Chains A and B, each alone.
Chain A
Amino acid sequence: MNCEQLMSAAHDYFLRTLPAGPRAEFDAHAESCPACGEFVRVCREITCREVNEFLDRYVAGDLPPERMAVFERHLSICSDCLNYLESYKFALRAAQTSFSAQALQLPESMPEELVRAILAASRGE
């Protein structure tokens, strides 16, 4: 197995659906190739589920530095998590943009009728 084949087989390898033969070849290549060995090590460091569970804290920069580094390494090799992260941040940005004062078409100043109603109500009228 070469590096390209290892990358192609990685998804099935971690899903445990790779047959025994190719699985042994995968392990042998990861053992002998420093770059692929590092890739496999990072993949084992944290799962996508764990990354997803703490994504809010990662986005807020609210994780200990060593944990941030683990997230960064995972995101550098996992396109699923990276794509999810980007879409998660997009959703947050979309919420904020869509409820901005401009998007809500708020008046620049308080409508006179409303001001009068509030002043009257405060006087108990």
Chain B
Amino acid sequence: MTQPTDAVPSASQAAKAPAGASTAGEEELLTQLRGGCPAAFERLVRAHGVALMATTRRILRDEHEANDALQETFVSAYRAMDRFDGRCPLGAWLQQIAVNACLMRLRSRRRRAEVEVEELLPQFTTYGQFAEHQERWTEAADARLERGEMAELVRAAIDRLPDKFRLPLVLRDLEGLDYSLVAERLGATHNAAKIRVHRARQALRALLEPHMKEHL
């Protein structure tokens, strides 16, 4: 059995998540959950499981480990249910528990082969102009993206980013957390979180560039 994470956010912390307050339907479910109703917990798992699976897979990038983190998320939530005051949607609260569970797992992971983000940033002349001309990417790239032909390539490129930059990108651009929550989850300042998201996008852009030029 996997161990639940201790890092369960308060409802007020989770209230900063993008979605609004909990709904009337959730209130009823919450009452049943607090009463220890096993059927209610199963409904919670079935209702939120797939969305949280997306979160754990985006962060951990390993199906088996993502499922373990998902299990930890629900067990942690089950044990901390009396600390949830309903001021935010259950989904937002669960999402933050899932993010914490994933971050704890990442801390014990071996370092991956990573790119140097600084080397992927654009270069400028002393007078602030681009050192190299920037070519227009082909419109065919959009069509390839729409057809799903670039998904593996893009995921592999993001996997090459150091976690210091990959995680802010995942939390902000894929999980939709606002910058203050990204900063809080990662123990960074608000400004550092914003800069890392921007640098991660720039680095991803640079990693994709050679593949765009192939089709010019």
Which A residues are closer than 8 A to B by beta carbons? 11, 14-16, 47-50, 52, 55-56, 79-81, 83-84, 86-88, 90-99, 101-104, 106-110, 114-115, 117-122, 125
Also in contact, A97 and B67, with CB within 8 A (given A109-B46, A122-B78) = no
Interface residues, chain B, with chain A CB atoms under 8 Å away = 1-2, 38, 41-42, 45-46, 49-50, 53-54, 57-58, 67, 70-71, 74-75, 78-79, 122, 124-125, 127-130, 133-137, 141-142, 145-146, 148, 150-152, 154-155, 158, 169-170, 173-174, 194, 197-198, 201-202, 204-205, 208-209, 212
Partner of B150, one of A50, A94, A96, A104: A94
Tell me if B150 and A98 are in contact (CB < 8 A).
yes
Beta-carbon contact of A117 and B45 below 8 Å: no
Among B41, B67, B122, the one with the most A-chain Cβ atoms within 10 Å of its Cβ is B122
Most chain A CB within 10 A, of B38, B130, B194, is at B130
Which residues of A have CB within 8 Å of B78? 122
Residue of A16, A79, A99, A122 near B134 (CB, 8 A) is A79
Q: Are A80 and B130 in contact (CB under 8 A)?
A: yes
Task: Name the CB-closest residue of A to B53.
Answer: A106
**B50–A94 touching, CB < 8 Å:** no
> Besides the contacts A48-B130, A98-B152, A106-B54, what 15 more A-B pairs have beta carbons closer than 8 Å?
A47-B128, A48-B124, A49-B124, A56-B198, A88-B205, A90-B137, A94-B150, A98-B151, A99-B155, A101-B54, A118-B45, A118-B74, A121-B2, A122-B78, A122-B79
The interface residues of chain A lying within 8 Å CB-to-CB of B46 are: 109-110, 115
User: B122 near A125 (CB under 8 angstroms)?
Assistant: no
**A–B pairs, 7, beta carbons within 8 Å:** A50-B128, A52-B122, A91-B205, A95-B173, A110-B50, A110-B53, A118-B74
Bound Cα distance from A37 to B209, whole angstroms: 35
Tell me which of B136, B154, B155, B197 contacts A86 (CB under 8 A).
Answer: B136
B54 near A98: Cβ-Cβ < 8 Å: no
Contact B174 A14 (CB under 8 A): no
Residues of A within 8 A of B174 (CB): 95-96, 99
A residues in contact with B129, CB < 8 Å: 11, 14-15, 47-49, 80
- Give the CA-CA distance A88 to B198 in the complex, in Å: 10
Minimum Cβ distance to chain B for residue A107 (Å): 6
By a CB distance below 8 angstroms, the chain B residues around A14 are 127, 129
Check B173–A96 contact: CB distance below 8 A.
yes
Q: Which chain A residues border B54 with CB–CB below 8 Å?
A: 99, 101, 104, 106
Q: Which residues of B contact A55 (CB under 8 A)?
A: 198
User: Is there an interface contact between A91 and B208, defined as CB atoms closer than 8 Å?
Assistant: yes
Partner of B151, one of A80, A81, A97, A117: A97
Assuming A94-B145, A95-B174, A110-B46, is B198 touching A49 (CB within 8 A)? no
Contacts A95-B173, A122-B78 known; A87 to B205 CB distance under 8 Å?
A: yes
Residues of B near A108 (CB, < 8 A) are: 50
